[in-house]
Structure 1
């Protein structure tokens, strides 16, 4: 579904990505892990059109999307939930979710998303649907950010640090929901500070360091790899 080839991105005169190549197959959860400053967030921002690469290609469903504005990329079905959630605090939960429909664009003709679908995934959002987004807890805001993206019927969901700052019980709930969405056909590319959780819930993992992909493999195999255990599973990493 997503193929990235020899991607290089730089800003402020520094190369944040150096000839990165990766593949996200349809219906899979692919994780990106690595130390602080590895280029993981830069990669997602480049894919979603927030940043433009110096070289390389990004193919989404066999179409090169390099150079397209971010809103057109979103309307093609590639949705980005950034680090920090960026929900609209002055709007209610329900209004935040309705904003997500804007990314449907021409795809709205194929049918809208029933907001009740999101509420079934995250019942707490239905309970708090009339509360302002800014009044929610961190975990509830993360659910709202994911729910808002789902309102646009994503084909591929980019997630940047979904567990950041959340209590373990909420982290488990978020990841279990992602697994449920995968079983319904959603494809996910995620950055995750909790390497153990990333390897547990993903199908395939890439490890980035210094803007390069230095290691990759099936997540279950990497979880048992002594090198990965020593360098990435002994402590939590961050984007």
Structure 2
């Protein structure tokens, strides 16, 4: 479903990604982990078109996204949930979720039907639809962001640090909600600083360091890998060939 090959790119002419590559199977949950500054969020920004790669290719479901604008990429079925501050605080929960369909030219009735479907999937959306998003807790805001991302029935959802700043109870809700989105057939690529959380969700895990892949495998393979702890404490293995 997702193929990044030999990607270089970053900010202001400085490469954060150095030959990054990943293959993600359709319908799976994949998680990218690594120490701060490894380039994890840069991968998602490059995939979603916020950043343009200097070199390399990005293909999703057979479509070459390299160089496309964020709006064009959304229309191909790739949606990103940002790391934080992704809601309009003064708008209601319903208004925030409906904003997820802004690039869809379908009849308004079909978008309303999609909203009702998501309200059944995420009970918070139904219960607090008329409340302002700014009144919600951090975990509740994440649920609204998830529902908004699902408005277009995307092929791929990119999750950037979904548990950042959340308490254990909220993390459990995010875990359940991520599983629910995946159960609807959505392929999920997530970046997560909480390695334990990421390993508990993912089918496959990619470990990054200095803008490149150094380890990859199933969640259990990565959890048992002798180099994992060293990577986070300054003794990373060499990037793979």
State the TM-score, normalizing by the size of structure 1.
Answer: 0.91
What are the Cα deviations for residues 124-158 of structure 1, in whole angstroms up to 9, with x where unaligned?
Answer: 22211111111211111111111100011111000
Structure 1 counterpart of 2:129: 129
1:44 CA drift (Å): 0.4
1:27 maps to 27
Alignment partner, residue 191 of structure 1: 191
Q: Tell me: CA distance 1:32–1:107, structure 2 relative to 1, closer, same or farther (3 Å).
A: farther
Q: Structure 1 stretch 96-105 or stretch 20-29: which is displaced more? A: 96-105
1:154-189 per-residue CA deviation (whole Å, 9 max, x = no partner) reads 110000010011111111111112112222211000
Post-superposition shift, 1:94?
0.3
Structure 1, 193-202 or 116-125: larger mean CA deviation = 116-125
Distance 1:59 1:75, change over 3 A: same
- 3-state SS, counterpart of residue 104 of structure 2: helix
Comparing 110-119 with 212-221, greater Cα deviation is found at 110-119
Decide whether aligned partners of structure 1 residues 105 and 232 sit closer, same or farther in structure 2, where only a CA change above 3 A counts. Answer: farther
In the TM superposition, structure 1's runs of 4+ consecutive aligned residues that sit over 3 Å from their partners are 103-108, 110-113, 229-233
Whole-Å separation in 2 of the counterparts to 1:22 and 1:200:
20
Q: Give CA deviations for 1:40-64 in whole Å, capped at 9, x if unaligned.
A: 1111001000010000000011111
Aligned-partner SS, 2:49: coil
Contact 2:101 2:111 in 1 (8 A): no
Unaligned 5+ segments in structure 2 are: 234-241
Distance 1:61 1:166 in 2: 33
What root-mean-square deviation, in Å, do the aligned CA atoms of Structure 1 and Structure 2 show?
Answer: 2.1
Asked if structure 1 preserves the Cα contact closer than 8 Å seen for 2:161 and 2:193, the reply is: yes
Query: Contact 1:208 / 1:215 at 8 angstroms: preserved in 2?
Result: yes
Aligned pairs, number: 233
Match of 1:226, SS state, is: coil
- Identify if the C-alpha distance between structure 1 residues 82 and 113 changes in structure 2 by more than 3 Å, giving closer, same or farther: farther
Structure 1 regions of 5+ residues with no counterpart? Answer: 234-239
